[in-house]
Amino acid sequence: MTIPTAPPTLPDDPADALAAVGALRRLADRVEDAAVERALDDGWSMAQVAEALGVTRQAVHKKHARRLAERGPRS
């Protein structure tokens, strides 16, 4: 996967730029939630998920454990 290196073009209004940042963060969180669920459903360990995300296993557990427990086991 290639990461763009050009600086982003920002809206003229800082409020618009900050609103866009907030929207991107919310979207990234939803994408991460879905990807973590999929990986765990496919048999990945929390350690494997953490390595793929570039964070510690504890960070993954802290961020996702409650939500995953509330959803219950998937078959």
Q: Which domain holds residue 36?
A: 27-71
Copy the structure tokens of residue 45. Answer: 């360990």
Helix ranges, the chain (H): 14-41, 46-53, 57-71
Q: Read off φ and ψ for residue 9, nearest 5 degrees.
A: -90, 125
What is the domain count for the chain? 1
What is the band of 75 on the pLDDT scale with cuts at 50, 70, 90? Answer: low
| 50 occurs within a structural domain | yes
| 3 occurs within a structural domain | no
| 48 occurs within a structural domain | yes
CA–CA separation, 47 vs 28, rounded Å? 20
- Per-residue pLDDT tens for 6-40? 878 889 999 999 999 999 999 999 999 999 999 99
- Whether the per-residue pLDDT at 74 is higher than 80: the answer is no
- Per-residue pLDDT tens for 33-62? 999 999 999 999 999 999 999 999 999 999
